[in-house]
Structure formats: structure tokens, C-alpha cells
């Protein structure tokens, strides 16, 4: 039986053997606790018929656990120095494919078609590099990929923002963007001590379960997200002030914005963080109607 990759001793031995040094720019922190890795995989609820997509496999610690519990794993790794290491550490598993590519530039849908043609149940499971967490999650959701969901480890503070509810200081446009597509829940908090090198922040694992259709129906999705971002532009400001300063010609159209707020029953003195996703949907549809009638 080969030894698990994710032990402090084995990790150290692998890194020394290959003379590997961590690149700060790639946000590399490797997990050295098999129990925690096992629990992350538990939250993905994989079966022997599932496929897993991993991003940033590092030296293969999480990849190995995914390989043991799924039919196939495809991992995207940007750092070519890790390819020979992964080749060795994952050699016992014939159900793993490593793709040397930046996930943000990759044609993920094409890869899914090619690599998982037989597989119906697909999950993304990853320990994400902290500096690109949000763009990666948003890419996976905006591309409407045929996945069941995403289980990722990320900075606890970002996890808190993703799963936040209205009326809290963490709640913002990121919470809404992700909850629009998924049901978001923080499933575990991970101390910094189980990584090498130790990050400066605690981590959390978040599970995003894809909705069959977005949580709200809006007339114009792009405009909806635009209104959401505008409403949080300056957190201290009221929704009316943010919208008038952010929307095109907002200052000249203050009356139009007030009328739109009134038509959907939202008090203009409220702040963005008190509005639910449903209220933002009503507001963006209302504003769309008003701005169209103004421009016609």
C-alpha cells in the first residue's frame, strides 16, 4: 500500500526530492492533513460513477483522495514544475488526467465533453489559490457547465461573503452573484496549521449546489448584476445615492430612479446590503422599464 501524499513527512520528502520552491505569485499552499482532505471529499458526495474536476492539484494530495472515490478525475495545473511530481505521486491511479493549463483560459466545456462523455454526475472539488478564487468560481457558474456543484476551499473571509445573508456586513454583490446560480453553504472551517507553507489566514470549505434555474427571474441578467454592483458601490450610501452616482446619467435621472424604487416598493433611504436578491430582481426590472421609457 502506498503512503498518502498529504502527510507532513511525505510532502516534505516529495518537495525535497524535486527541489520544489513555493511560488508566492501562484498562491501555493499544500494541505498536509488526510482527515481534512477526506472530509472535503465527503462534502462533494461522490459515487463510483461520479467525475471530479480539480483546479490546482499541487502535488496531488486532494487528487489522490478524489481518485479513490470517483470514476475519473481531471485536474488543471498551471505550474509546469509540478507536472513531473504529479506524474510520480499519482502513478498508482489510472483514473486521473492532468491538464497543463490555466483554468481561466481553458475551454472547460470542451474538456468535459471530451473527458467525461460517459459520466452524468460531475463535481468541481478544489483547494483554490486565494488570489483567483472569485474569477474561477464565476467562470464556472457563468459558463453554465453541466456540473452538479462546486466544493472548494478558499479564504474564510471570502467564504463568509459568498454565503452571507442580507443585513450582514459580509453581504454584497459577490454573495448575490453566486447565490443567483447556486445554494451556498460553508461546510467546514480549516485552520492554517494544516498547510505548508502556512497561509496568513484561516480557510473554509464552501459547497455550492447548482440551482436548476437562477433563484430569481430577471428581464435582463447583465443589467441585474450591473444594478447590484452599483447598489454596493459605496456601502455607507443609500441605495438612491449609489444608483444616482453609478447609473449612466443617474444624476439627471434621479426622478426616474426614485419613481422606479417607488414602483417596486423599495425605500430609497435603505442601503444595498439590506435588500434581498428578490428585491434586487424587482428593482432591476423596474429600472429597466423606466430607463427604456425614458430613452424611447
Residue 2: its pLDDT value, please? 67
Per-residue model confidence as pLDDT tens digits over 12-54:
898 889 888 877 666 678 888 999 999 999 999 999 999 999 9
Torsion-angle region of 268 (φ positive above 0: left; ψ -120 to 50: alpha; else: beta): alpha
Examine the pLDDT at 182 and tell me if it is beyond 70.
Answer: yes
Compute the distance between CA of residue 251 and CA of residue 83 in angstroms, rounded to an integer. Answer: 55
The pLDDT confidence band at residue 295, using thresholds 50, 70 and 90, is very low
For residues 233-257, average pLDDT: 92
Q: Write down the pLDDT at residue 294.
A: 45
pTM, full prediction:
0.91
Count the Cβ atoms, other than its own, within 10 Å of residue 34.
Answer: 17
| Tens of pLDDT, residues 262-291 | 999 999 999 999 999 999 999 999 998 766
- Return the pLDDT at 296: 41
Could you tell me the CATH superfamily of domain 8-210? Vaccinia Virus protein VP39 (3.40.50.150)
* Whole-number pLDDT of residue 19: 87
Superfamily of domain 221-295: rRNA adenine dimethylase, C-terminal domain (1.10.8.100)
Residue 85, CB half-sphere, CA atoms under 13 Å: how many? 25
pLDDT in the model for residue 293: 52
Is there a contact between 166 and 276 (Cβ–Cβ < 8 Å)? yes
Task: For residues 151 and 209, give the distance between their C-alpha atoms in angstroms, rounded to a whole number.
Answer: 9
Task: Give a three-class secondary structure readout of 60-120.
Answer: CHHHHHHHHHCCEEEEEECCHHHHHHHHHHCCCCCCEEEEECCCCCCCHHHHHHHHCCCCC
Strands in the chain per DSSP E: 30-31, 50-55, 72-77, 96-100, 121-127, 149-155, 182-190, 195-196, 203-210
Given a contact cutoff of 8 angstroms between Cβ atoms, the answer to whether 208 and 175 are in contact is no
**Contacts for 78 with CB less than 8 Å, ≥ 6 apart:** 26, 56, 100, 101, 102, 103
- Contact of 177 with 171, CB cutoff 8 Å: no
Q: What is the pLDDT of residue 89?
A: 95
Query: Tens of pLDDT along 56-104?
Result: 999 999 999 999 999 999 999 999 999 999 999 999 999 999 999 999 9
pLDDT of res. 199: 83
Task: Please tell me the distance from the alpha carbon of residue 34 to that of residue 29, in angstroms, as a whole number.
Answer: 15
pLDDT in tens, 219-233: 999 999 999 999 999
**29 marked as part of a ligand binding site:** yes
241 is in an annotated binding site: no
Domain(s) labelled CATH 1.10.8.100 in the chain stretch across 221-295
The model's pLDDT over 103-150, given as tens digits with 9 standing for 90+, comes to 999 999 999 999 999 999 999 999 988 888 999 999 999 999 999 999
Is 102 annotated in some ligand binding site? yes
Residues of CATH 3.40.50.150 domain(s) within the chain? 8-210
Amino acid at each position: 500500500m502506498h503512503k498518502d501524499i498529504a502527510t507532513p513527512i511525505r510532502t516534505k520528502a516529495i518537495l525535497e526530492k524535486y527541489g520544489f520552491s513555493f511560488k508566492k505569485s501562484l498562491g501555493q499552499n499544500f494541505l498536509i492533513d488526510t482527515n481534512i482532505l477526506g472530509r472535503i471529499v465527503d462534502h462533494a458526495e461522490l459515487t463510483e460513477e461520479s467525475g471530479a474536476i480539480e483546479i490546482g492539484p499541487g502535488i496531488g494530495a486532494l487528487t489522490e483522495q478524489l481518485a479513490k472515490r470517483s470514476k475519473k478525475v481531471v485536474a488543471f495545473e498551471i505550474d509546469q514544475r509540478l507536472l513531473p511530481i504529479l506524474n510520480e505521486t499519482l502513478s498508482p491511479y489510472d483514473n486521473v488526467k492532468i491538464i497543463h493549463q490555466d483554468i481561466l483560459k481553458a475551454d472547460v466545456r470542451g474538456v468535459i465533453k471530451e473527458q467525461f462523455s460517459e459520466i452524468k454526475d460531475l463535481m468541481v472539488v478544489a483547494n483554490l489559490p486565494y488570489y483567483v478564487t472569485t474569477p474561477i468560481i464565476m467562470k464556472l457558474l457563468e459558463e453554465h457547465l453541466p456540473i452538479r456543484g462546486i466544493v472548494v476551499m478558499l479564504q474564510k473571509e471570502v467564504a463568509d461573503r459568498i454565503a452571507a445573508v442580507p443585513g450582514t456586513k459580509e453581504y454584497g454583490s459577490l454573495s448575490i452573484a453566486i447565490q443567483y446560480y447556486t445554494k451556498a453553504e460553508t461546510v467546514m472551517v480549516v485552520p492554517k496549521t494544516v498547510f505548508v507553507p502556512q497561509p496568513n489566514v484561516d480557510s473554509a470549505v464552501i459547497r455550492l449546489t447548482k440551482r436548476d434555474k437562477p433563484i430569481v427571474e430577471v428581464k435582463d441578467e447583465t443589467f441585474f448584476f450591473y444594478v447590484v454592483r452599483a447598489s454596493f458601490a459605496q456601502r455607507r450610501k443609500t441605495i438612491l445615492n449609489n444608483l444616482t452616482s453609478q447609473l449612466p446619467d443617474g444624476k439627471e435621472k434621479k426622478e426616474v430612479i426614485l419613481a422606479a424604487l417607488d414602483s417596486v416598493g423599495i425605500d430609497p433611504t435603505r442601503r444595498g446590503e439590506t435588500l434581498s436578491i428578490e428585491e434586487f430582481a424587482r428593482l432591476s426590472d423596474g429600472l429597466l422599464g423606466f430607463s427604456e421609457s425614458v430613452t424611447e
